[in-house]
Amino acid sequence: MSFKEIIYFLDKIGKIIDLSEKELELLKKPQKILQAEIEVSGKKYPAYRVQYNNSRGPFKGGIRFHPEVDLEEVQSLAFWMSLKTAIADISFGGGKGGIRVDPKQLSEKELEELSRKWVRAFYKEIGPTKDIPAPDVYTTPQIMAWMLDEYENIIGEKAPGMITGKPLALGGSLVRDIATALGGVYVLEEAMKKINLTERTAAIQGFGNAGMNMAKLLAEKGYKIVAVSDSRGGIYVQEGLNLSEVIKAKEEKGSVIDYNLAKKISNEELLTVDCAVLVPAALSGVITAKNAGKIKARIVLELANGPTTPEADEILHKNKILVLPDVLANSGGVTVSYFEWVQNNYGYYWDEHTVKSRLKEKMVSAFDKIWKEYAPSNYDFRTNTYILAVKKILEAERLRGRV
Ligand code: NAD
């Protein structure tokens, strides 16, 4: 989502809940923008950290390594993190980082150097009580490990809570790897109960960490997964795919379309197949005014960040399709990141059951709070979600005397 769309949403919410100019101004600007240029093997890469809002706790958000990263994108993602942590009700603010680089073009040594230099560029402004990064697109637990090591070398002491998404051996949390999808399942199950939806069929766009884990978890719960896709295209079987065979094809041959016993469909077609639940779990901006009217699902669960355009949102709302927005639906990832940070601060680590049950508690509670506002209101679920998040941020701002 572009920053322009964020401004559009903020203005819309501002009118609904009567925000003052000062409040809107505060929400429309990040607190701090950090920029650097990182040199590896003679090439220079622009690097960023945007610290959007820390009224509710330290800045929190991932670091993205991608050739299209720019300041506007990092700023938008940092804003969404502020909403997400407020909705998840965890004591963090919002931030995001990135490097404009194609990590696939780097050797492992160069990738390590790049990661360590990102920390050297920004270490004064990050830390367990200031700003806590995490993985995002093309950044991994190994990269988090290098970053932690670099930070601890600079400050001369252990500080595992300076970053999350770490490998387990360095203080990571159990369940972190499936947390985004699992959080989405908890929210979905609550929503299905509320609208009395019993048909358990789903189509999932994207088959990476979020999408594949979602497919697995839903299949375990007895859902028929009728369609899945990745960057090369999609596959569809109305009676439900044989998921373990699809995963095998993806792992062995590189794509879900290498599974032969299904009809091939495009990523666009996947959005409009006959199913109860549609899960965009890949790119942003895929549900548009062009295709929203053709969507047959009753629920859209946004595991991807920003998959629905504002125009599409209005069409879905008119057609009585419940959209569970990204800042709620995929907040399981940051919630378990928060659990990781809590465990690091404690120096005491939880078992799998404890992490899962605490995640469920958080997700169900967040969903219920929004549902209570949404059910009697005239606005869609997303608008109600944003309103709740904005109110929580502004409450903290007011208590601090900043508005
Ligand atoms: P990933 O890189 O593991 O997987 C992405 C998947 O999308 C891959 O299967 C890829 O083939 C597919 N894809 C790429 N281009 C596509 C296209 N044009 N059409 C259809 N599929 C395409 O990434 P991920 O971690 O699963 O993240 C997916 C989305 O979920 C992103 O929007 C991300 O921001 C969001 N998200 C992920 C997490 C998390 O913890 N993984 C947390 C919050 C949000």
Which residue CA neighbors atom 15 of ligand 1 most closely? 231
Q: For tokens 């404690």, what's the residue?
A: 346
pLDDT at site 286: 96
CB atoms within 10 A of CB 237: 17
Measured in angstroms, how far is the CA atom of residue 100 from the centroid of ligand 1? 18
pLDDT, tens digit, 9 for 90 and up, residues 183-199? 999 999 999 999 999 99
CA nearest ligand 1 atom 37, residue: 210
pLDDT of residue 2: 83
pLDDT at 5: 86
Total count of residues recorded for the chain: 403
- 365 has pLDDT over 90: yes
The number of the ligand 1 atom at minimal distance from the alpha carbon of 210 is 26
Q: Which atom of ligand 1 is nearest to the CA of 179?
A: 40
Is a pLDDT exceeding 80 seen at residue 1?
no
Taking the alpha carbons of 109, 110, 115, 117 in that order, is the dihedral positive or negative? Answer: positive
Q: Quote the ligand 1 centre to 25 CA distance (angstroms).
A: 32
Question: What residue owns the CA closest to ligand 1's atom 43?
Answer: 330
User: Which pLDDT does position 373 carry in this prediction?
Assistant: 96
d(CA 153, CA 167): 18
Q: Tens of pLDDT along 313-326?
A: 999 999 999 999 99
Residue 237 CB less than 6 A away from ligand 1: no
CA-based nearest residue to 60, from 84, 34, 27: 84
What is the distance in A from the centroid of ligand 1 to the CA of 373?
Answer: 30
Radius of gyration for the alpha carbons in the chain, expressed in angstroms and rounded:
21
Q: Which residues are catalytic?
A: 96
- pLDDT single digits (tens) 189-246: 999 999 999 999 999 999 999 999 999 999 999 999 999 999 999 999 999 999 999 9
Q: In terms of DSSP H, where are the helices of 232-380?
A: 243-253, 267-270, 310-318, 326-329, 332-346, 352-374
Q: What is the mean pLDDT of residues 63-71?
A: 96
Output the six-digit token pair for 54. Answer: 């820390």
Calculate how far, in angstroms, residue 17's C-alpha sits from the geometric centre of ligand 1: 34
Mean local confidence (pLDDT), 285-295: 97
Contact 234, 267 (CB under 8 A): yes
**Residue of the nearest CA to atom 1 in ligand 1?**
208
Q: What's the mean pLDDT when you consider all of the chain?
A: 97
Averaged pLDDT, 348-355: 98
Percent of the chain at pLDDT above 90? 97
Verify whether ligand 1 is closer than 6 Å to residue 303 (CB atom).
yes
How far is the CA of 385 from the CAs of 169, 197, 275, in angstroms?
A: 36, 21, 25
Residue 48 pLDDT level (bands cut at 50, 70, 90) = very high
